[in-house]
Amino acid sequence: MKTDLSLPDSLYNQVSILANEMQIPEKQLLILAIEDYLRRHHQQELLKSINEAYADGLDPSEQVMLEGMRQHHRHLAETE
């Protein structure tokens, strides 16, 4: 799909500089940024759902499992 996008000059300048440093086209950098934003948003929504599911309190084994899931989620978010 093709779309037109208007960016403030200051943002466009930052995109242009970073794309140049990464040696990729500006539009590719924008695609990467949108994909990253969507992935992070999805991860935040998933974590929110998990937290809501356990909001009524946890028994000790559930607390251990939830902490493990949080650590795993943080690790995934940091490595991607």
For residue 24, give the DSSP letter: S
The structural domains of the chain, with segments of one domain joined by +, span 9-79
pLDDT tens-digit profile of 4-61? 999 999 999 999 999 999 999 999 999 999 999 999 999 999 999 988 887 777 778 8
Instruction: Quickly state the pLDDT bin for 74 (edges 50, 70, 90).
Output: confident
Q: What global pTM score does this model have? A: 0.65
Angle, CA of 39, 10 and 41, to the nearest 5°:
10
Nearest CA-CA partner of 14 in 36, 35, 29: 29
Q: How far apart are CA 24 and CA 70, in angstroms?
A: 34
